[in-house]
Amino acid sequence: MPIYKVSYVVPQRPNEGTILSQRTPPQVGDIVVLRERRYRVKEVIDLLPSQGAVHFLHATVEPIEEEAG
Protein backbone atom coordinates (compact mmCIF):
# COMPACT_ATOMS: atom_id res chain seq x y z
CA MET A 1 0.00 0.00 0.00
CA PRO A 2 1.51 3.39 -0.97
CA ILE A 3 2.51 5.92 1.65
CA TYR A 4 2.70 9.64 0.89
CA LYS A 5 4.96 11.63 3.18
CA VAL A 6 3.79 15.19 2.62
CA SER A 7 5.35 18.54 3.50
CA TYR A 8 2.52 21.09 3.74
CA VAL A 9 3.64 24.71 3.60
CA VAL A 10 1.55 27.85 4.00
CA PRO A 11 3.30 30.76 2.23
CA GLN A 12 4.16 33.68 4.51
CA ARG A 13 3.25 31.55 7.53
CA PRO A 14 6.34 29.41 8.16
CA ASN A 15 5.18 28.27 11.58
CA GLU A 16 2.01 26.64 10.20
CA GLY A 17 3.93 24.06 8.17
CA THR A 18 3.04 20.43 8.75
CA ILE A 19 4.61 17.11 7.86
CA LEU A 20 2.53 13.95 7.91
CA SER A 21 2.18 10.61 6.17
CA GLN A 22 -1.07 9.66 4.49
CA ARG A 23 -2.46 6.87 2.32
CA THR A 24 -3.65 9.03 -0.59
CA PRO A 25 -1.84 11.96 -2.24
CA PRO A 26 -3.16 15.52 -1.98
CA GLN A 27 -4.42 16.93 -5.28
CA VAL A 28 -4.61 20.55 -6.43
CA GLY A 29 -7.99 21.96 -5.38
CA ASP A 30 -8.44 19.53 -2.47
CA ILE A 31 -9.52 20.88 0.89
CA VAL A 32 -7.25 19.57 3.62
CA VAL A 33 -7.82 19.92 7.35
CA LEU A 34 -4.72 20.46 9.42
CA ARG A 35 -5.21 21.01 13.15
CA GLU A 36 -8.89 21.82 12.59
CA ARG A 37 -8.03 24.55 10.08
CA ARG A 38 -9.10 24.23 6.47
CA TYR A 39 -6.69 24.85 3.62
CA ARG A 40 -6.97 24.61 -0.17
CA VAL A 41 -4.17 22.80 -1.98
CA LYS A 42 -2.59 25.12 -4.58
CA GLU A 43 0.35 23.06 -5.80
CA VAL A 44 1.75 19.56 -5.33
CA ILE A 45 5.27 18.57 -6.41
CA ASP A 46 7.52 15.59 -5.90
CA LEU A 47 10.04 16.63 -3.28
CA LEU A 48 12.14 13.52 -3.89
CA PRO A 49 11.93 10.55 -6.24
CA SER A 50 9.67 7.81 -4.89
CA GLN A 51 11.33 4.92 -3.10
CA GLY A 52 9.25 1.81 -3.59
CA ALA A 53 5.82 2.46 -2.08
CA VAL A 54 6.95 5.64 -0.33
CA HIS A 55 6.33 8.96 -2.10
CA PHE A 56 7.77 12.27 -0.94
CA LEU A 57 5.56 15.24 -1.77
CA HIS A 58 5.48 18.96 -1.12
CA ALA A 59 2.12 20.74 -1.11
CA THR A 60 1.57 24.48 -1.01
CA VAL A 61 -1.72 25.33 0.66
CA GLU A 62 -3.62 28.49 1.52
CA PRO A 63 -6.05 29.08 4.38
CA ILE A 64 -9.68 29.05 3.25
CA GLU A 65 -10.61 31.60 5.90
CA GLU A 66 -8.52 34.22 4.10
CA GLU A 67 -10.46 33.71 0.87
CA ALA A 68 -13.75 34.31 2.64
CA GLY A 69 -12.47 37.32 4.56
Q: Please give the residue ranges that form the binding site for other proteins (CB under 8 A).
A: 1, 3, 5, 7, 9, 11, 14-22, 34-35, 47-48, 51-52, 54, 56, 58
The single-letter DSSP state of residue 23 is: S
Nearest to 42 by CA among 33, 32, 55: 32
| Helix, strand, coil distribution of the chain in percent, nearest 5 | 10, 60, 30
CB of 29 to other proteins, least distance (A): 20
CB of 7 to other proteins, least distance (A): 4
CB of 18 to other proteins, least distance (A): 4
